[in-house]
Amino acid sequence: MSLSLNDIDLLEDTWAKEVPYDQFDLLRREAPAHWHEHPEFTGFWAVTRYDDVRAISRDHTTFSTELGSTFLVDHEPEALELIRMTLLNMDPPKHSRYRRLVSAGFTPRMINRLVDHIGEKAAAIIAGIEGRDEVEFVEEVAAELPLQVICEMIGVPNEDRHLVFDWSNRLVGFQDEDFRTSEEDGQIAAAEIYAYCDAIVADRLENPRDDIMTALVQAEVDGDRLSKEELNMFFVLLCVAGNETTRNLIAHSLQVLLERPDVMADLAANIDDDELWSSATEEFLRWGAAIHNFRRTATVDTVVGGQEIKAGEKVVIYYAAANRDPEHFADPDTFDPRRQGNDHLTFGGGGAHFCLGANLARAEIKVMVREFVRRFPNVAADGPHKRMRSDFVNGIKHLPVKLNG
């Protein structure tokens, strides 16, 4: 039976099963801005064409992240006030002042310094599973590198990294019963992470170092130091943004190689072809878009994909849908590690909020997948993988593999 617009459902139960590419095909063709009800919160316009997702990302004047936050949910005024302390949920010019504070930690010099360590860290992760027959790829491999790197950046000691792993799972996995242990657990995780951040802040005030938290503690915006809440929210954003996304992208990358032994064999045979591994990494990114969507609120009456949108209405942009738009990509449903000019929107459409960690994430994905394929070219699936139930993060919870086939 063919799909109709009445069947469209982009909420968490759908994503628990699969990325709904069939729904996106229909939407891009027939309703590029489609009204989607939400059972608990305000409904929204789902936007799926490449050009529209890109244009909305670039127009923060018409499409605000600050008015109603980037998540699919509505917030009580108090919670919204806190959420607006994260970069993603600020509009320029305020956004530009805060982004400048953290961007010092993401200059090419800082990233190159981290990239030098990434190879060593990836080698240690591979050495840690050497001699085993089976591993749980997500937790034992994919999660490790992003976790170690973000902890180094924000100054969390390596032995505490599993705390960060656990907090970000509980904060992002609130729709998935494997991560959420009780109704209040998300709030408890937030309280724990704030307390941890407060201790780091106190330490950096006494003992400044060359890390992002020291820069934030010393920073001033309009003559004022950042408040405790602002520091907490920066810390949470960096922990989650630098961790969940890259982990899932590494897991999706291995998943597509397991499904496409021909591509695995090609990449393994050309393991030292740096150009091929760079284009393959962009294709991993196009394929495995780690965030499903971000929401905007229209500030004025406008038009998207021929559809009139009223001021105050919610607009949700779907990155995976844009990445498979046949008007933009030739043969979009084929994974092609040699694809050229691959301007996917996995890190956003290039506007004010474009991902700060894009080059870091690129480097991590390339090194981790490459070193894994170099060492275990005959890796095979060891049972089905499990997806996360989330309408926000494109998560893989479990990916059991046999290292030597």
CB of 207 to ligand HEM, least distance (A): 23
| Residue 33 binding ligand HEM, by CB under 6 A | no
CB of 151 to ligand HEM, least distance (A): 11
| Residue 231 binding ligand HEM, by CB under 6 A | no
219/326 Cα distance (integer angstroms): 45
Piece of 35-43, 44-52, 354-362, 373-381 that binds ligand HEM (CB under 6 A): 354-362
One of 50, 347, 372, 376 touching ligand HEM (CB under 6 A): 347
The number of residues in the chain equals 405
298/65 Cα distance (integer angstroms): 9
Alpha helix locations (H) across 104-176?
108-129, 137, 144-154, 161-172
322/50 Cα distance (integer angstroms): 4
| Residue 122 binding ligand HEM, by CB under 6 A | no
| Residue 150 binding ligand HEM, by CB under 6 A | yes
One of 200, 241, 368, 396 touching ligand HEM (CB under 6 A): 241
Piece of 9-17, 116-124, 134-142, 234-242 that binds ligand HEM (CB under 6 A): 234-242
- Is the Cβ–Cβ distance between 15 and 178 less than 8 Å? no
| Residue 171 binding ligand HEM, by CB under 6 A | no
| Residue 361 binding ligand HEM, by CB under 6 A | yes
Coil, helix or strand at residue 265: helix
Piece of 12-20, 197-205, 243-251, 397-405 that binds ligand HEM (CB under 6 A): 243-251
CB of 324 to ligand HEM, least distance (A): 16
- Rank residues 173 and 349 by Cβ distance to ligand HEM and give the closer one: 349
Neighbour count for residue 321 (Cβ, 10 Å): 29
| Residue 291 binding ligand HEM, by CB under 6 A | yes
- Rank residues 156 and 238 by Cβ distance to ligand HEM and give the closer one: 238
One of 83, 249, 363, 368 touching ligand HEM (CB under 6 A): 249
- Rank residues 196 and 347 by Cβ distance to ligand HEM and give the closer one: 347
| Residue 400 binding ligand HEM, by CB under 6 A | no
- The closest of 206, 216, 257, 260 to 236, measured between CA atoms, is 216
| Residue 71 binding ligand HEM, by CB under 6 A | no
- The closest of 147, 154, 145 to 199, measured between CA atoms, is 154
Q: Helix-strand-coil percent breakdown of the chain, rounded to 5?
A: 50, 10, 35
- The closest of 53, 91, 50 to 69, measured between CA atoms, is 91
CA 149 to centroid of chain Cα atoms: 15
Look up residue 391 and give its DSSP letter.
S
Piece of 115-123, 242-250, 331-339, 381-389 that binds ligand HEM (CB under 6 A): 242-250
One of 8, 47, 55, 88 touching ligand HEM (CB under 6 A): 88
Return the residue matching tokens 């929107």.
Answer: 345
CB of 101 to ligand HEM, least distance (A): 11
| Residue 290 binding ligand HEM, by CB under 6 A | yes
Whole-number Cα distances in Å, 171 to 176, 185, 311: 11, 8, 31
| Residue 237 binding ligand HEM, by CB under 6 A | yes
- The closest of 59, 41, 69, 38 to 295, measured between CA atoms, is 69
One of 38, 94, 99, 375 touching ligand HEM (CB under 6 A): 99
165, with CB counted inside 10 A (0-12, 13-18, 19+), is buried
Return the structure tokens found at 311. Answer: 């001021």
| Residue 242 binding ligand HEM, by CB under 6 A | yes
Amino acid (1-letter code) at residue 195: A
- Rank residues 309 and 316 by Cβ distance to ligand HEM and give the closer one: 316
Coil, helix or strand at residue 160: helix
| Residue 87 binding ligand HEM, by CB under 6 A | yes
At 156, give phi and psi (nearest 5°): -90, 130
Which residues make up the interface to ligand HEM (CB under 6 A)?
Answer: 57, 87-88, 99, 150, 237-238, 241-242, 245-246, 249, 290-291, 294, 346-349, 351, 353-357, 360-361
